[in-house]
Amino acid sequence: MSAVILDHITKTYENGKVTAVDDVSLEVSPGELFGLIGPDGAGKTSVFRILTTLLLPEKGTASVLGFDCVKNYREIRNRVGYMPGRFSLYQDLTVAENLHFFATLFGTTIEENYTLIKDIYEQIKPFSNRRAGKLSGGMKQKLALCCALIHKPEVLFLDEPTTGVDVVSRKEFWAMLQQLKQQGITIMVSTPYMDEAVLCERIALIQAGRIMSVDTPEKIIDTFPAQLFAVKAADIYRLLTDLRNDPATESCYTFGEYLHITFRGHPDTNPQQLQEWLEQRGHRNVAVKQIRATIEDSFIRLMNEA
């Protein structure tokens, strides 16, 4: 049985004028680390709120651990942990008080499940008497995770836990998630950062309320249908303009110091030819290589096809 099931779920706001979630179906297996990848406004938070029984869908059915999200909401609430996107702790309570509060709420004690949060909590323990409102972003994030875990949930919902957090803290956070996964907890996590997609076992790419693709990151990348080249030159802005204005170019986007480019109807373009062609046009220090797509390439392509 799947840990999480969304079956043709639709959610609208403002009397049907705004469709936040549009006929979404997906399943998450027990013990899986599943990522919902998409920008702000894609519908990620609405999906989480439906699954955590805080929002009613208009159409479709959803269940968590076999319990219906509408009819059996009490059972679900006892069995899941939820870390909302915005800081959800009590700012005026200390670190220890917040943790104690959430433990009590779920009829348990900090001691009972301490092993589960030990590794994370030890990092913020030196600040246990500090008010949550006075913590740094990274520490708030750790405390919120502890509070979502203290009742030993079977499924953990994390809504954009790494948004606005720097690269170093983001890496630490994902390492913590891998450890929790080892303990058998099913984790559903959302993020706007495409580079975090590869840290999940399976992902759903979501845009404008619709799921564009659900699969392992590897398989999504494998289905990228075109030859993809990374190109750079001394004047990258002129290179971008030249390539975009060329009728043979199908797509051309900046990716760090390179441009990622696909061509129309040229099944066998080779890097050498492309390099010579660009040099003939007066570009200097040209470098061309054929590359494997990233999740961000796939996301952009699916977005443009939609």
How far is residue 180's CA from residue 62's CA, in Å, rounded to a whole number? 24
Q: How many residues bind another protein (CB under 8 A)?
A: 33
- Nearest distance from C-beta of residue 240 to another protein, angstroms: 8
* DSSP secondary structure code for residue 187 in this structure: E
- The site map against another protein for 286-305 (x = CB under 8 A) is ----------x--xx--xx-
Q: Give the residue with the Cβ less far from another protein, 128 or 163.
A: 163
- Please count the residues of the chain: 306
- Nearest distance from C-beta of residue 137 to another protein, angstroms: 5
What does the angle CA 104 – CA 5 – CA 56 come to, to the nearest 5 degrees? 65
Q: Give the residue with the Cβ less far from another protein, 4 or 139.
A: 139
Q: Does 282 bind another protein (CB under 8 A)?
A: no
Q: Give the residue with the Cβ less far from another protein, 10 or 169.
A: 169
The one among 237, 245, 284, 306 contacting another protein by CB under 8 A? 237
List the structure tokens of 253: 């986007």
Q: How far is CA 123 from the centre of its chain?
A: 24
- Nearest distance from C-beta of residue 259 to another protein, angstroms: 10
Backbone angles phi, psi at 253, to 5 degrees: -130, 150
- Nearest distance from C-beta of residue 254 to another protein, angstroms: 6
* Binding region for another protein (CB under 8 A) out of 5-13, 112-120, 167-175, 223-231: 167-175
Q: Please, are residues 140 and 132 in contact by the beta-carbon 8 Å criterion?
A: yes
The one among 126, 137, 225, 282 contacting another protein by CB under 8 A? 137
* Binding region for another protein (CB under 8 A) out of 1-9, 39-47, 176-184, 274-282: 39-47
How far is residue 301's CA from residue 21's CA, in Å, rounded to a whole number? 21
CA atoms within 13 A on the CB side of 248: 10
How far is residue 22's CA from residue 208's CA, in Å, rounded to a whole number? 8
- Nearest distance from C-beta of residue 300 to another protein, angstroms: 5
- Nearest distance from C-beta of residue 39 to another protein, angstroms: 4
Name residues whose C-beta falls within 8 Å of residue 108's C-beta, 6 or more positions apart in sequence. 150, 151, 152
Q: Does 12 bind another protein (CB under 8 A)?
A: no
Give residue 67's region: left, alpha or beta (phi > 0; psi -120 to 50).
Answer: beta
How far is residue 291's CA from residue 260's CA, in Å, rounded to a whole number? 9
Q: Does 42 bind another protein (CB under 8 A)?
A: yes
For strand 4-13 and strand 18-28, is the pairing parallel, antiparallel, or unpaired? antiparallel
Q: Does 126 bind another protein (CB under 8 A)?
A: no
Q: Does 47 bind another protein (CB under 8 A)?
A: no
Q: Please, are residues 76 and 64 in contact by the beta-carbon 8 Å criterion?
A: yes
The one among 112, 166, 222, 279 contacting another protein by CB under 8 A? 166
Q: Please, are residues 287 and 232 in contact by the beta-carbon 8 Å criterion?
A: yes
- Nearest distance from C-beta of residue 211 to another protein, angstroms: 15
Q: Give the residue with the Cβ less far from another protein, 3 or 42.
A: 42
- Nearest distance from C-beta of residue 172 to another protein, angstroms: 10
Q: Does 256 bind another protein (CB under 8 A)?
A: yes
Of 69, 306, 31, residue with least CA distance to 186:
31
**Where along the sequence are the contacts to another protein (CB under 8 A)?**
38-42, 136-139, 163-169, 171, 192-195, 207, 237, 253-257, 296, 299-300, 303-304
